[in-house]
Chains A and B, each alone.
Chain A
Amino acid sequence: MANSEQQKHDSLVERVSARLGARVLETDRSYGDLVFVVEKAAVHEVLSYLKNDEKFDLLLDIAGVDCVKLPEYRERFELEYILYATGKDHRVRVRVPVPEFALDVPTATDLWRAANWAEREAHEMFGFVFTGHPCLKRLITHQQFEGHPLRKDYPVMQGQWCATTSSLEEELEE
């Protein structure tokens, strides 16, 4: 890892721990990226700090993870927000453990508009419920699809027939 990269990481960790303290459970490194592990209740605060004060102006993606087959995990699911600061050329990830029977997570659509579709995809693939999302519908699978195909307990080859086409007008109006 380049030295300047290391400095960027270290100074961000310092500022974040000074500002948010115990709300960041753990700081981790993964494939050259900085990872903040954050409790579900504090996720919106942390994201909003990173966006407004640290200028992470780009939400690259939201990834879901079903940890059920991993050797050890905090909660069954994890959400991972991948953020990028275009001004500083800095990428960071925010990891949120989500329990299986409490899948509600506050939405990030008020911070980044890009969160809209990313959250819809995480919603249909894993079943997360983003509270406050303006239009939490299925994005990629069809409207008659039942279940969450990226969960480890979904039989991966089981298709589901779609009998009707659906209108996209509602989405164009957004």
Chain B
Amino acid sequence: MGMKTDTYTKNETGLITTRVDAMINWARKNSLWPLPFGTACCAIEFMSVVSSPFDISRFGAELVRFSPRQADLLLVAGTINYKLAPVLKRIYDQMPEPKYVISMGACASSGGFYDNYATVQGIEQIVPVDVFIPGCPPRPEAILDALLKIQKRIDREPSPKRGVDRRHELAEKPADE
């Protein structure tokens, strides 16, 4: 009897057979390289997620990069003002596909309590966001939860095609949760 799961089958010879999609998604979701775009206290909370008590490396996303060209998970942690908006957009544009965005905390998601002439009222106006995390700042567990949601999403992604954003196809598929 072989072992059968959703994504692969293991037979008596010890070989694993799977689909290319599933394998690539599996590899991809377990090695996200986050770029922390930290502008406020949320970034401090992210530091604690990376450190040993919470240890984001259990989910394969511990390799923090500060170059957008080496990262595929943009983590916007903090207040974004109008002066910074073109910078954030440019950093997002420089990241190679496929790329994901987490909007962490009240400020990044909605401007927080900074409802004034200087602060962008939510980064969704600048870059497409995959997961919003509420909180001011959010608990580290909430960041791990967001990461798991991104991973779940990657698992369902259609056949990857380099350089082409196909997430609109995903939107047509029903979510499995």
**B interface residues, Cβ below 8 angstroms from A:** 82-83, 85-87, 90, 115-121
| Residues from chain B with Cβ under 8 Å of A142 in the complex | 82-83
Contact at B118–A161, with CB atoms within 8 Å? Answer: no
**A156-B116 Cα distance, complex, nearest whole Å:** 6
Contacts of A145 in B (CB 8 A): 82
Residue A158 CB within 8 A of the other chain: yes
Closest A-chain residue to B120, C-beta based? A159
What is the number of contacts between chain A and chain B, taking CB atoms within 8 Å?
40
Q: Which of B83, B87, B120, B121 contacts A141 (CB 8 A)?
A: B83
Main SS class of interface, B: loop
Asked if residues B116 and A162 are in contact (CB atoms below 8 Å), the reply is no
Other contacts beyond A145-B82, A149-B118: 4, CB < 8 A: A140-B118, A154-B117, A162-B83, A165-B87
A residues near B (Cβ < 8 Å) are: 140-142, 145, 149, 154-165
A161 contacts which chain B residues (CB < 8 A)?
A: 82, 85
Flag if A165 contacts B90 (CB, 8 Å): yes
Contact of B86 among A149, A156, A164 (CB under 8 A): A164
> Judging by beta carbons under 8 Å apart, are B116 and A163 in contact?
no
A159, A161, A162, A163, most chain B CB atoms within 10 A: A159
Cβ contact within 8 Å between A159 and B117: yes
B86, A163: Cβ atoms closer than 8 Å = yes
The 4 A-B pairs at the shortest CB distance, nearest first, are namely: A142-B83, A149-B117, A162-B82, A165-B86
